[in-house]
Amino acid sequence: MRILIEGKSYKDYLAKCHEAFRTGLRALFDARSFGDGYPDYSPSVKTYAQIIQRTFSDVSPDIIIGDSYYPDDLEGFNYAGMADLSPLRSFILGDYWFIAEKYHEGFVAFAQKNKIDFILSYFPQPLKIWSASPIGRRMAYLPPCFDPRIFNNWQVEKTHDVGFLAAGTTEYNPCYPERFSIHQKLLERKDLKYLWAFHPGWKSHIDVPPLVGVGFSKAINSCRLFITTSGIYKNPHAKYVEIMASHTVLLADEPEAAGRLHLQDGVNYIRVSESDILEKIDWCLARPEICQKIAEAGYRTAMRHHTCYTRAWEFYEATMATLK
């Protein structure tokens, strides 16, 4: 399968799941990327037809994945002519809640106007939100994934009892009110070796600070337990699989589609809540042998079900199923 991926490189971006998915596609298929940060990028290119000519001059791609739809610019795509393409047309949907709340009908019109054949969603909720719309059958849920060259068991010495590194911990975020509360509780526990830091910002990090990319995975790996939460939308975001991939016990609330992430409470992660987080931490730290088994099970789950290479194959299967 030949795939054209349009959009700027996310290699240096804080969130590594975006480039990870592309890495998996390039490894399994004839997938070629075009955008700022990739070889042969040129700002003079204005249309998707020109991109195809530049990247697939020898043969036409089967599928084009356009850059994500961001409603605030009221445009959607970076280049003109998506609706005129002969390859199958698609894009990835990430932060859906802005669109669902402000552009619910406009999003449907946008997809129809550009003759989108299928939409890949990082989260399961959009499949329900737009299930009754004309584009409902064109949507497929593909959870975020990770690149095992970035997230893995680095066998770092366990110097911390628990870690919590996420947006909304040190500064209140209305999407994640529980994170700020949990962070305050952990700060009060002077008996715990607690790893935390201020959020480095949603931007590119060319000069990679310690807690981004491999450094982030090693920080997770240095903790016996590591926390994440799904927020008010119950989103199964990338940290769920990244923590497991870093061979540390995942402490988390249960997100939407937990089964799709293969999460099993007490087997490969520990389900927690804002109210019982300290109790669960104490329980885990008092049972190191059990926690070691849970960390190992989580690691196996991540490596079996959530690497970028597994997700690339699931992309192929989801695409074929959506198009039937």
Q: How do the domains of the chain map onto residue ranges?
A: 2-145+307-323, 160-305
Average pLDDT, the chain: 94
pLDDT at 320: 80
Nearest to 164 by CA among 223, 227, 101: 227
Tens-place pLDDT, residues 222-247? 999 999 999 999 999 999 999 999 99
CA 146, chain centre distance (Å): 8
Work out the pLDDT band at 208, boundaries 50, 70, 90. confident
pLDDT at 177: 98
Tens-place pLDDT, residues 83-100? 999 999 999 999 999 899
Q: In this structure, are residues 186 and 194 in contact, taking their beta carbons and an 8 Å threshold?
A: yes
Q: pTM, whole model, 2 decimals?
A: 0.95
CATH number of 160-305: 3.40.50.2000
Q: Report the top-level CATH class of 2-145+307-323.
A: alpha beta
Domains 2-145+307-323 and 160-305 share a fold: yes
pLDDT at 209: 77
Q: Nearest 5 degrees, angle CA 18-CA 23-CA 29?
A: 125
Element (H, E) at 250: strand 249-252
SS3 109: helix
Q: In this structure, are residues 106 and 203 in contact, taking their beta carbons and an 8 Å threshold?
A: no
SS3 265: strand
Residue listed under structure tokens 């449907």: 108
> What CA–CA distance (Å, rounded) separates 251 from 229?
8
